[in-house]
Homo-oligomer: A and B are copies of this chain.
Amino acid sequence: MITTANVKNGVNVDQLVETIGHIQEQPELAKFEFRAKNNWINGGHCVSSIKSFYGAGQEDTTREETFTMECSHPQVLLGEDEAATPPEVVLHALSSCLTGAMVYHAAANGIDIEGAESTIKGNADLHGFLGLDPEVRTGFNGVTIQLKVKSDASAEQLENLAKFSPVFDMISNPTPVNIEIVKQ
């Protein structure tokens, strides 16, 4: 008998079930620490390197590539537009995470996802960032995502699956950020 991997939506469901089993036996395996190193270039232009992380009880040894990403600002925000702005990068992370969470949880629930694409928007008012009005927040007032999905599941069901997204949690709920400045 030939056995093939049980893959749905590109997710290996056997491996997912196995992972859940391991975590139920050893809760410590669920702990992850993600990291980035960031270097300032000039003005609002920065570059990050991402490679190492801790998870499943150990330092990762499988990642071969260091991922490099930049942030910058367009001319109207006094930059030279070498890369997307940090708030735009958040929109990338949030839309990817909502989609990925929906796809993984759909796979775990036996739901086929045949296609998914989204448009995401965030609104901001520079009175906040520029310190011109303390009542105006510096970040987005709100984010709207329209996620088009090809699936037999209901829109409500798909939305509930997407809401397992870690980045959705980080944006919609407060996450403590501890800043330590070290003078060089």
Tell me the number of copies of this protein.
Answer: 2
- A90-117 vs B: 1/0 string, CB under 8 Å? 1111111111110111000000010111
Give 9 A-B pairs besides A40-B99, A60-B74 with Cβ atoms closer than 8 angstroms: A45-B100, A62-B81, A86-B166, A89-B92, A89-B96, A105-B131, A124-B166, A139-B173, A163-B179
Task: Point out the residues of chain B lying under 8 angstroms from A29, CB to CB.
Answer: 126
Q: Could you tell me the dominant secondary structure of chain A's interface residues?
A: mixed
Interface size class of A (residues with CB under 8 A): 35 or more
Task: Point out the residues of chain B lying under 8 angstroms from A176, CB to CB.
Answer: 141-143, 172
Inter-chain contact A76/B99, CB cutoff 8 Å: no
Return A56 CB to nearest CB of chain B, in Å. Answer: 5
Task: Point out the residues of chain B lying under 8 angstroms from A86, CB to CB.
Answer: 93-94, 96-97, 100, 165-167
Taken together as a complex, chains A and B put the C-alpha atoms of A99 and B41 apart, in Å, by: 10
